[in-house]
Structure 1
């Protein structure tokens, strides 16, 4: 019998979602869709519940947790209500990252595909997503309107960096499944910072992936994105420590999002200001 998910990672992007997908997908008690980011509750809601349920047809009775990892749901104005209407009291998860680091990582990802302004400061002012996807409190406010707070696991990306095993243990404990010892491979980042070997080829690959996804090919897109060979062919690693955002951009992000960080602490009880170096 086809099952709908009872677990969703809802966002944000650039905060460990790919690592989480690649790790949990191997847990014997968890079924995740082969393709990360189905985008059902934001982009493809008109495809209907039957289509969505079919994405989880591989789940077995031995897998009590059936889930999806989609990094954009936290920020879509209708996703929370749609999830509440479609799923029966699901467990939800977010992983919060310093908005400066998240925006910088997102910009680097876009630039390796030839997207967005080449100047980070200009991009911050012209690409709404860069700041919008760091408005964590605003997104959580929408979700707590339709979902109980105790059904939302708020993780912090810094904990994944510092101790991946503890980060995973907290997640599996929240899900009520067995702990899963990590291997050395699991402890490494799956998609290191990179730049395109050819902007033209990388951009064409991204556009092709978008087209395939639009034509119900999410599983194929997922398989290619998870391929280390494909990643090596398209991109070459960069040393992130050698390229950093300028101080004016850092100050601008902190000014624009200070209230969001304050509300994460005061409303949601997650102490991040000092950890992120915000004053």
Structure 2
């Protein structure tokens, strides 16, 4: 059996990576494990392995309770997912690259592509990205971007939801987190949408033919998916464009927030436009009023 393409989905956060995972997991030429985000490389480089192991443990415990109460479904997917959590936790704990690559392929038949879609990989150093390419053989990187203002606000709402106890205060929390972000107090939100930093590392490190760039605004179309499938060397397949993934609580931005965010993020708009030769389609609505 031929060695597969190893596809790394490296972000950005809130730019369609969960939808992309579901699309590729359902593709007959792809083999993805039931854990979307493996965090193998960032756990090691950022010394956060214990934190991610705790997340896996909590997820496994929650899933185990669901299965025990009869809520695990009838097709065995929940039990499979629970088993994979246990197997992968041991691999992550040891930090064994050979075992990690074997995990991506374990159970694969003749599928062309295996993969790991972990948006926080966009924060990895150029050296780590180069290492990922080297150990995987035929490695290809997929980086999704989204209108900077829309992405930031979606990320803010996600954090607000996580920090809320019952969901009743999400709009107020989102407004406070937004203000703190623009004041430099929520750096993780800004970092996840720092397209310039990620694109510069990719350009510095990788063969451009091994990097696929796409925007959230164009992703949900046959044209974009045909381009992605050609990049990965798999058969074209239309997507389920009616299914939304992790859409979050619908809290609208105010006009003032849009203008402040657009001004704050103007360097990201300008840099991406310069790299692509033009502003991506669907970007810049908020910037028009800034």
Same fold (TM over 0.5): yes
Higher deviation after alignment, 77-86 or 143-152: 77-86
1:2: how far off? 11
Rate the CA distance shift 1:62–1:273 in 2: closer, same or farther, 3 A.
Answer: closer
Q: Output the aligned Cα RMSD.
A: 2.7
* Alignment-derived partner of residue 82 in structure 1: 131
* Alignment-derived partner of residue 230 in structure 2: 173
Rate the CA distance shift 1:3–1:181 in 2: closer, same or farther, 3 A.
Answer: same
Consecutive unaligned residues in structure 1, runs of 5 or more: 195-239
The reply on whether 1:254 has 2:262 as its aligned counterpart is yes
User: Hey, which of these two has a bigger chunk of helix by percent?
Assistant: 2
SS in 1 for 2:35: coil
* Alignment-derived partner of residue 36 in structure 1: 36
1:158: how far off? 0.8
Does the CA contact (< 8 Å) of 1:32 and 1:67 recur in 2? yes
SS in 2 for 1:63: coil
1:39: how far off? 1.0
SS in 2 for 1:155: strand
Q: Provide the C-alpha distance between the structure 2 equivalents of 1:7 and 1:254, rounded to a whole number of angstroms.
A: 32
* Alignment-derived partner of residue 122 in structure 1: 180
Does the CA contact (< 8 Å) of 1:16 and 1:157 recur in 2? yes
Q: Provide the C-alpha distance between the structure 1 equivalents of 2:43 and 2:256, rounded to a whole number of angstroms.
A: 34
Higher deviation after alignment, 3-12 or 63-72: 3-12
Deviations 1:252-274 (A, max 9, x none): 33333322222212224353287
Does the CA contact (< 8 Å) of 2:5 and 2:232 recur in 1? no
Using structure 2 for the length normalisation, give the TM-score: 0.69
* Alignment-derived partner of residue 199 in structure 1: none
Q: Provide the C-alpha distance between the structure 2 equivalents of 1:19 and 1:273, rounded to a whole number of angstroms.
A: 20
1:47: how far off? 0.7
* Alignment-derived partner of residue 246 in structure 2: 191
Q: Provide the C-alpha distance between the structure 1 equivalents of 2:225 and 2:244, rounded to a whole number of angstroms.
A: 14
Q: Provide the C-alpha distance between the structure 2 equivalents of 1:111 and 1:76, rounded to a whole number of angstroms.
A: 25
Q: Provide the C-alpha distance between the structure 1 equivalents of 2:111 and 2:7, rounded to a whole number of angstroms.
A: 12
Deviations 1:67-95 (A, max 9, x none): 11111111223542332342235111111
SS in 2 for 1:93: strand
**One of 105, 108, 111 as aligned partner of 1:57:** 105
Q: Provide the C-alpha distance between the structure 2 equivalents of 1:193 and 1:97, rounded to a whole number of angstroms.
A: 16
* Alignment-derived partner of residue 133 in structure 1: 192
* Alignment-derived partner of residue 20 in structure 2: 20
Using structure 1 for the length normalisation, give the TM-score: 0.72
What is the count of residue pairs matched by the alignment?
Answer: 228
1:150: how far off? 2.0
Rate the CA distance shift 1:274–1:19 in 2: closer, same or farther, 3 A.
Answer: closer
1:106: how far off? 0.9
SS in 1 for 2:212: strand
* Alignment-derived partner of residue 220 in structure 1: none
* Alignment-derived partner of residue 101 in structure 1: 150
Does the CA contact (< 8 Å) of 1:8 and 1:67 recur in 2? yes
